[in-house]
Structure 1
Amino acid sequence: MNEDKFIKKAEVLTEYIKIGETKLDEIIKNGNFVEPIPIEGFAHSLYSVLEIQKWMDDQKQKRNIKK
């Protein structure tokens, strides 16, 4: 298993799913994306890379099921 790491929202947008921040906020609010992790002492919540990768794999599986 790969090692997990926490990343900022900006990295989610630029390194992983490459959508706009407004769209990301919308899909999080609708429960369709990984929930950010609030960490005491940090100004912003962080995201788990492994959770994002699992979410991406799940999206590919949904695509494959629809065909």
Structure 2
Amino acid sequence: MEKEDKLIKKTEVLSEYIKIGETKLDAIIKEGNFVTPIFIQGFAHSLYSVKEIQKWIEEQKQKRKITK
């Protein structure tokens, strides 16, 4: 059974998932190298999909060069 997705604010992305500064995250987003934020009318903050963040993290891990 697949886990339900959850939408979280940028502060949660930074504190729970990738542990980088907000300025760096903003730069990565601007470059198009991070999950696209979700904007919902009437909400003050953009939101991010936890599943998309986890997928992005896995993609970053796959980019590492593994040498033996």
Same fold (TM over 0.5): yes
Greater fraction helix? 1
Q: TM-score, with normalisation over the residues of structure 1? A: 0.92
Deviation at 1:18, TM superposition (A): 0.3
1:1-67 matches, within 5 Å, as 1-63=2-64, 66-67=65-66
Return 5+ residue gaps in structure 1 as ranges.
none
Sequence identity, in percent?
77
- The structure having more radius of gyration, on CA atoms, is 2
Computed over aligned residues only, the root mean square deviation of the Cα atoms, in angstroms, reads 0.7
Return 5+ residue gaps in structure 2 as ranges.
none
Q: 4+ runs of 1 displaced by more than 4 Å?
A: none
Distance in 2 (CA, whole Å) between partners of 1:43 and 1:60 is 32
